[in-house]
Structure 1
Amino acid sequence: MAISPTVLPWDRFSNWLHCACVVTFDLELGQAMELMYPSHIKLTEKEKMNICYLSFPDSNSGCMGNTQFHFRIRQCPGRKPIVRSHNQYNRECPVSLQCENAYYYGFVYFRQTKDRSIRRGYFQKSLVLISKLPFIALFNQLVSIIAPEFFENGEPSLEAACHDIDQWLPPIPGDTLNLPLMGNVLQVKIPCRQTDKSSSSSVNGAKFSHTLPAHTILPSLFEVDIYSSFQSILPHIQLLWELVLLGEPIAVMAASPTVTSTTVQSLVNLIAPLRYCSDFRPYFTIHDSEFKEYTTKVQAPPPIILGVTNPFFAKTLQHWPHIIRIGEMTGAASSPKPLNKLKKAASLKTLDSKPGVYTRYKSYLSKDKTILKRLLKGVQIKRPVEAQNAILRRHFLELTQSFMIPLERYIGSLMPLQKNISPHKGPPRLRPFDPDGFLKTIEHSGPQLTPVAKGDWEGLYRRFFRSPNFEGWYHEKQREANQKLQTLHMEALCGANLSDWIVGKEEVEIVDLILRIREKLAFATAHHIVVSKDSLMKLQNHMDTIVSSLPSDLQSVLKT
């Protein structure tokens, strides 16, 4: 396909990745940035430092060979370049998968091998892909393809991979794309809020060829294996769902960043399709620039999920209310673990403590033993881990939807009636959310009427109303509702006979009407409010008629 003259080199690359970094071990400096590609990309010194420290396992003596994991860091304030395609992606993708300008993801492929030619005796180097998109599965796959080639052939292979990515089409929700990379082709479907659009099986009208070399179909861009992540603590997984839903501070402790990063991402995914609105760090070290902010004992821990491997954290985070200790993840064929009891947080003294959940939290909902029995049965009959994962994911999707549907219905009841939208007045707004008013509705339409779980749903809702997740959800619903009302108001304005309305009006009122309509048209364009072209044409004709009825001096002013 011919490249559009408006597309500059590396424009398409930035749709997917910010840059690729190579981090090596320097005897004098420790971890150091050896290479950034493309070379024109800028990172602050603080960002480079965080990337360097997060690109190596905290204690890498046991990490011989190759280790993969991912991290998430804050972008330094005051420097937020907007990638145009990310704006379009955010408007149409599921809210929980939106790209956040304030954060970077890093996808690491770390290699450690013995090498007598190096003074330290080991070759230690990481290739890291930096992106703002939360495509965990895709970028883990990319780095696993690019890194071995880089370690074998050096910088030219990294340059070739980046040039391949620079040819990719942008991630438009609903599209299914073929992404060529170093002789491989990855087929991916970009998630979309509109399910009918996402079912499309073609890109720009072109059908896929299944005879392409090394053609790999990725079932998901972003999902991780939540079953394997939680296998050692399955009896407490519903309690973990509550903690994540309520935005509680959680520390995940494990021996390797592979385990912490997958577990933290699994926790965030537990409440899908609800967006997790607090901070989360799949891998966090004592060198991180936010270390003091997140570990201070002067104030309560912030609402964040941290994944840590350094034994020092067992002492530093002892005051945290919820700590998860994870052993090495095992396959589905392993024997089921005993139903371990909850442990008091203070009993966690070292990182070598037994796997389990250390908390004093009391669940609002009773434990659903049906799902546990089904998963344990799956272990006994050697059900594939993919099937176990799908069962668990479906269970929590239904649980989250049961919790959120009454809230969605209540928000719908706060919308003004369409018949009350007048073209001669400003657009109405969503009525305020009343927690007590909402709780009165759940008696007849609440989640306790469904078979998902029993318990104190009202108490869970009241606690949820104080969480960042509710604040983020409500803000998004306000935005969506007010945009819908703006659209309805625009349609009412387009359908109104303004020529009749101005009869008998003063010139100042007519001019004010014209200016308000122009402002509304500009607002609609800026906020992507969709109104049919015929309606807009009708409105423009009305305005032209009104302007032509004014004195010539006013006409000339309004036409400038």
Structure 2
Amino acid sequence: MVVAVGAGPPGRRGARRSGAGPGRSRPRRSAAASPLPWARFSAWLDCVCVVTFDLELGQAMELVYPYDFRLTEKEKTSICYLSFPDSYSGGLGDTQFSFRLRQSGGQRTTHYEDDGEYNREAPLTLQRESAHYFGYVYFRQVKDSSMKRGYFQKSLVLVSRLPYVNLFQSLLQLIAPEYFDKLEPCLEAVCNEIDQWPPPVPGQTLNLPVMGVVIQVLGGDGLCSNLLPAPLVLPSIHELDLFRCFQPVLIHIQMLWELMLLGEPIVVMAPSPTVSSEMVLALTSCLAPLRYCCDYRPYFTIHDSEFKEYTTRTQAPPNIVVGVTNPFFIKTLQHWPHILRVGELKMSGDLPKQVKVKKLAKLKTLDTKPGKSFVRHDLGIQRKRPSEVQSALLRRHLLELTQSFIIPLEHYIASLMPLQRAITPWKNPPQIRPFCQEDFMKTLEHAGPQLTCVLKGDWLGLYRRFFKSPNFDGWYRQRHREMTQKLEALHLEAICEANIVAWMKDKSEVEIVDLVLKLREKLVTRCQHLPVKEETLQRVSLYIETIIGSLPEDLQAVLHHH
């Protein structure tokens, strides 16, 4: 995509070169700007980094925007290594890919004050990460006789906690070529434009202007860029072209879905970080609407701080999908149970000839026989169809597969919810009954996946393995939390429908004060997260005032100031 646009005027605020001293003055913001510096910017991005190749240092952090954003030294080092394709897969031209980085150094302050509202509204697949950064990379390597090394090598990296791979890679296609041409002033202008964007709101259509282009994020989770003269339409803010990503491994799609469902350790060996990161991100998305709760690293290098943890043979590999490009990993990760090789790696010539890569088709998979999956199915793909149609069909197939698997679990967990008539106003809500795996397994004979799925296979065995995976734990915690909130909401409604004055007649002051404090606690700390109507909250407030009004004046004064 080539768009002829101007960079616009230089921005209001500067960025700081990595390692620059404190002598730079803080630029002033205009009165009309957002009340918190960078608040709107950081709703989308944590920072923008520029990584360059230094003859003495190797990869080095050249710039960080905004200048006061604090990355730890460990994070800077990791971003530097993850922002360059590794030496075996180098080539001239531009390359785009993504990585995911574990945050180090504990919780830190951010310009963005969200209080969790975005995640409460967003679907699981679009939620903001709390412990990881996503890095979206645009790397350029071209011959340049003015450079000592003979090459211009630089990466522009958008760092965010949002998994908006399509939006941010599209944004990079607009801004990176301009940045490499015009450098700092261009980037300052872009960052200032992003700082004027409205915050991301699930379900709302947003217009995001940048460099003379309006990127339109559609409320139905679509994304399109209105470019003149011809619009570029992207189908989604985060979904990749599944058919294109999975085309080399379509024969194994059923098995891959099962491995992801069970949170099995998988290595993706690819010829480039582009292929590696897209395959890993496609794999993690194939369980939707179920959340993939294990770790994943779309692009991973030998310099990563977790390298020793992943390559040790003294313990089982972790529950993670890791994408690699360096052939060195063929040797160091050959003990992993599942290795997916995509495309041809460029061999460096110094690896032992006896090292062989396991082929996925020959793995001993979930069934007792090699090469068989729990569930057998022939996914009918007609290669003459357009890629976007194939992708939609493939996504629908995977969605139906996940839904067939998860619906029996949803039915069973709903049966653990106490009956509504058991919820009484003046007692704590009854407990949700515990999840009993054996009781669930008994329901499968009459209400199992066979009702909604044509696939045959060892469904019971698949469920038993699923119960041991982080994905089950994540699903169960989420559903239990939602059910607990529903119980609290029903309890609040039951209180609102009760006759509070009649209840108070034979109660002591201690009991009445206790009720006031409990209602207040519900109202203040819990109600903001509960699925409760506004009128119910207003009635609770009115109840509190009514109860306080019935008490002696000295107690009223104490409760009003409590």
The TM-score range, normalised by the shorter chain, is 0.7 to 0.9
Q: Deviation at 1:7?
A: 3.2
Q: d(CA) in 1 for partners of 2:69 and 2:84?
A: 22
C-alpha contact 1:416 1:428 (8 A) present in aligned 2: yes
Provide closer, same or farther for how the CA distance between residues 413 and 492 of structure 1 changes in structure 2, counting only shifts above 3 A: same
Q: Does 1:28 align with 2:56?
A: yes
Q: d(CA) in 2 for partners of 1:132 and 1:530?
A: 26
Q: Deviation at 1:398?
A: 0.6
In the superposition, the TM-score normalised over structure 2's length comes to: 0.87
Provide closer, same or farther for how the CA distance between residues 541 and 125 of structure 1 changes in structure 2, counting only shifts above 3 A: closer
Equivalence for 2:512: 510
Q: Does 1:50 align with 2:78?
A: yes
Q: d(CA) in 1 for partners of 2:265 and 2:473?
A: 17
Equivalence for 1:407: 409
Provide closer, same or farther for how the CA distance between residues 120 and 533 of structure 1 changes in structure 2, counting only shifts above 3 A: closer
Q: Does 1:349 align with 2:378?
A: no
Q: Does 1:547 align with 2:551?
A: no
Q: d(CA) in 2 for partners of 1:228 and 1:80?
A: 38
Secondary structure at the aligned position of 2:402 is classed as helix
Provide closer, same or farther for how the CA distance between residues 259 and 482 of structure 1 changes in structure 2, counting only shifts above 3 A: same
Equivalence for 1:343: none
Q: Does 1:397 align with 2:399?
A: yes
Equivalence for 1:294: 310
Equivalence for 1:116: 145
Q: d(CA) in 2 for partners of 1:164 and 1:307?
A: 34
Q: d(CA) in 2 for partners of 1:328 and 1:158?
A: 36
Provide closer, same or farther for how the CA distance between residues 266 and 532 of structure 1 changes in structure 2, counting only shifts above 3 A: closer
Secondary structure at the aligned position of 1:84 is classed as coil
Equivalence for 1:266: 282
Unaligned runs of 5+ in 2: 1-29, 346-352, 368-372
Q: d(CA) in 1 for partners of 2:167 and 2:62?
A: 25
C-alpha contact 2:89 2:271 (8 A) present in aligned 1: no
Q: Does 1:361 align with 2:365?
A: yes
| Within-5 A mapping of 1:23-422 | 23-59=51-87, 62-81=90-109, 83-85=112-114, 87-190=116-219, 215-327=231-343, 349=355, 356-357=360-361, 359-363=363-367, 364-369=373-378, 371=379, 374-375=380-381, 378-379=382-383, 382-422=384-424
C-alpha contact 1:495 1:539 (8 A) present in aligned 2: no
Provide closer, same or farther for how the CA distance between residues 216 and 228 of structure 1 changes in structure 2, counting only shifts above 3 A: closer
Q: d(CA) in 2 for partners of 1:482 and 1:451?
A: 31
Q: Deviation at 1:540?
A: 3.1
C-alpha contact 1:187 1:217 (8 A) present in aligned 2: no
Unaligned runs of 5+ in 1: 193-197, 202-207, 330-346
Provide closer, same or farther for how the CA distance between residues 401 and 286 of structure 1 changes in structure 2, counting only shifts above 3 A: same
Kindly provide the amino acid, as one letter, of the partner of residue 326 in structure 2. N
Q: Deviation at 1:542?
A: 3.1
Q: d(CA) in 1 for partners of 2:531 and 2:249?
A: 48
Equivalence for 1:7: 35
Q: Deviation at 1:549?
A: 2.6
C-alpha contact 2:271 2:344 (8 A) present in aligned 1: yes
Q: d(CA) in 2 for partners of 1:52 and 1:510?
A: 61
TM-align CA RMSD: 2.4
Aligned residues: 519
Q: Deviation at 1:146?
A: 1.0
Secondary structure at the aligned position of 1:72 is classed as strand
Q: d(CA) in 2 for partners of 1:37 and 1:5?
A: 18
Q: d(CA) in 1 for partners of 2:545 and 2:249?
A: 69
Q: d(CA) in 2 for partners of 1:61 and 1:252?
A: 15
Q: d(CA) in 2 for partners of 1:253 and 1:60?
A: 12
Q: Deviation at 1:163?
A: 1.4
Equivalence for 1:559: 560
Provide closer, same or farther for how the CA distance between residues 58 and 6 of structure 1 changes in structure 2, counting only shifts above 3 A: closer
Provide closer, same or farther for how the CA distance between residues 402 and 3 of structure 1 changes in structure 2, counting only shifts above 3 A: farther
C-alpha contact 2:214 2:227 (8 A) present in aligned 1: no
Q: d(CA) in 1 for partners of 2:395 and 2:537?
A: 45
Q: d(CA) in 2 for partners of 1:266 and 1:415?
A: 35
Q: Deviation at 1:178?
A: 1.4
Equivalence for 1:528: 529
In the superposition, the TM-score normalised over structure 1's length comes to: 0.88
Kindly provide the amino acid, as one letter, of the partner of residue 349 in structure 1. V
| Within-5 A mapping of 1:419-498 | 419-498=421-500
C-alpha contact 2:214 2:225 (8 A) present in aligned 1: no
Query: Deviations for 1:69-105, whole angstroms, at most 9, x for unmatched residues?
Result: 0000001142244633472221011112211110000
Q: d(CA) in 1 for partners of 2:275 and 2:354?
A: 19
Provide closer, same or farther for how the CA distance between residues 190 and 469 of structure 1 changes in structure 2, counting only shifts above 3 A: farther
Q: d(CA) in 2 for partners of 1:463 and 1:80?
A: 37
Kindly provide the amino acid, as one letter, of the partner of residue 281 in structure 1. R
Q: d(CA) in 2 for partners of 1:279 and 1:115?
A: 39
Kindly provide the amino acid, as one letter, of the partner of residue 368 in structure 1. H
Equivalence for 1:537: 538
Kindly provide the amino acid, as one letter, of the partner of residue 554 in structure 1. L
Query: Deviations for 1:182-235, whole angstroms, at most 9, x for unmatched residues?
Result: 11111112567xxxxx9xx9xxxxxx9979776444310111122222222221
Query: Deviations for 1:46-79, whole angstroms, at most 9, x for unmatched residues?
Result: 0000000000011266421011100000011422
Q: Which moved more, 1:53-62 or 1:23-32?
A: 53-62
Q: d(CA) in 1 for partners of 2:249 and 2:420?
A: 50
Query: Deviations for 1:449-506, whole angstroms, at most 9, x for unmatched residues?
Result: 2344110111100110000000000000011111111111111112211111121222
